[in-house]
Structure formats: structure tokens, C-alpha cells
Amino acid sequence: MLQYDAQRTGNVSGIAPETPTLLWQSGEKTSGCIQAGPIVSGDKVYISTWWSSGMGVKGNGTDALYCLNESTGVEIWNNTGVYGASTAAIADDKLFVGTQRGNVTCIDAASGEIEWSKKIEENPSWYGVASSPLVVDDMVYVLSFSDGTLHTFSFDGAELGNFSTGGEILGLQVSDIDFTSNIISVRRSISRGIVSAPKTENSARDVPLFNVLKP
């Protein structure tokens, strides 16, 4: 998932090589504008592109969600119906990702086929759903930008509930989930590339988890 964990710390285990070596780079098909982060699962890399034409930023490729071979970079599949700036999350062989069209979408990670897609942003305009979904305990959390609403979905696409934070939020950074007190704390900060547009001076907003989980 984006920035490695639910807190979006960006901290990962492992030691990087002293001298990085370029093993491969994507070809022309995946050369659209890339603002989403790649995710790696098993021997596959998943990455979403957008703005391949228009809106002031252009590339040579096709807007799509791509699945590439981790070792070679060879394309395994692509889905041109899913694209945007959202970094996907993966769980149970399912990809969860926001799209420029304003949907949160679930894709079969092996085939690239869409399992379900739900409209949560009625005015997609510039970014659509740029929030990167967060998966915790078989639940998918994702934000709609224009109204700052936190939506919760089950893996089969049922919306379990939603809660408005009262203002625009572009990215979802969860500082804490406390199931004992039914509180989820959503930050509205600019941190490690997570961009947001806060409407208040508060750096975080505690959202009643009960309201999010219960319709």
C-alpha cells in the first residue's frame, strides 16, 4: 500500500545496495504521466498512469492500470478502464484503487478484470479519487476529495458506512485506529508526498469509527 503501512510512514525493512543498478524500465505503453506509486506483490508490479493526453501533461502511452513482471518489466495485462493518481492496495489477490473518473474499484490481481466499481466522487474534475485506499481487517477505507468523506467498503463492494470530515482532503493518512474507543484519526497534512487541502487549522481529525462502519 501507499507509504508501506497504515500510518504512511514510508519505512520499510531491508538494506538497499550501495550502488543502485537499473534492471529495466517500462516501455512506450506505460509512458503516460505517473503520479501513483508502484506496488509489488509476489512477482508482479502494479502501477497506474494518467494524463497521457491533454490537461497540460502528456506522455506517449495509454492511461491504464498496468501489471508488469517484477523481474523483466514485461507487461502481463492492462486495464484501460482504470487509471489515475491513486496508489493501489492489494489484499486477498484483489487490487483496490481510486480512479480519475471518481470511482473506487476492485480488480482481480491475476487477470486485471474489474470485480466491482463504486462512484464516491460526484465531481471528479481534476484528480478524481486520488486517495490511495487503505486496507485494515478486511475493510477498505478511501476518501472522496471534494467533500472529504471517508468511505468504508467490504471486499465484496458493499459500503459499510461513511463519515464527512467537513472539508476537502486529497490523501488518506491514518495516524491511528482505536477499535476499543471506535475512533479513527485521519490526518490532513502534507507529509512524504501526501497532499491535502485542510479547511481547519487542525492537523488531524478524529472520526467516530462506529459511524464509518455502520450504515
As a whole number, mean pLDDT of residues 17-26 equals: 83
Entry pTM: 0.73
Q: What does the alpha-carbon distance between residue 185 and residue 141 come to, in Å, rounded to a whole number?
A: 12
Coil vs helix vs strand at 212: helix
User: What secondary structure letter does DSSP report for 191?
Assistant: B
User: Hunting for cell 461513511 — which residue is that?
Assistant: 162
**SS3 for 78?**
strand
Output the nine-digit C-alpha cell for 91.
489484499
The domain made up of 28-213 is a member of CATH 2.130.10.10: yes
The overall longest dimension of the chain from CA atoms, in Å, is 52
Whole-number Å distance between alpha carbons of 175 and 186: 6
Residue with cell string 468523506: 149
Q: Give the torsion through C-alpha atoms of 64, 162, 204, 38, to 10 deg.
A: -20
The per-residue pLDDT for range 51-105, each reduced to its tens digit, is 655 444 444 567 889 999 999 999 999 999 998 888 999 999 999 999 988 999 9
Q: Can you give the C-alpha Rg of the chain in angstroms?
A: 17
Angle, CA of 34, 36 and 38, to the nearest 5°: 95
Q: Which residue has the higher pLDDT, 30 or 154?
A: 154
Read off the pLDDT of residues 126-136 as tens digits, 9 standing for 90 and up. 678 888 888 88
pLDDT at position 5 is: 58
How far apart are alpha carbons 86 and 211 in whole angstroms?
25
For residue 66, give the C-alpha cell: 498496468
Element (H, E) at 160: strand 159-164
Beta bridge partners of 69: 44
Whole-angstrom distance, CA of residue 22 vs CA of residue 170: 32
Task: Return the percentage of the chain with pLDDT > 90, whole number.
Answer: 28
First to last CA, the chain: 26
Is residue 175 within 8 Å of residue 7, measured between CB atoms? Answer: yes
The order of strands in the sheet holding 103-108 is 89-91, 94-98, 103-108, 114-119
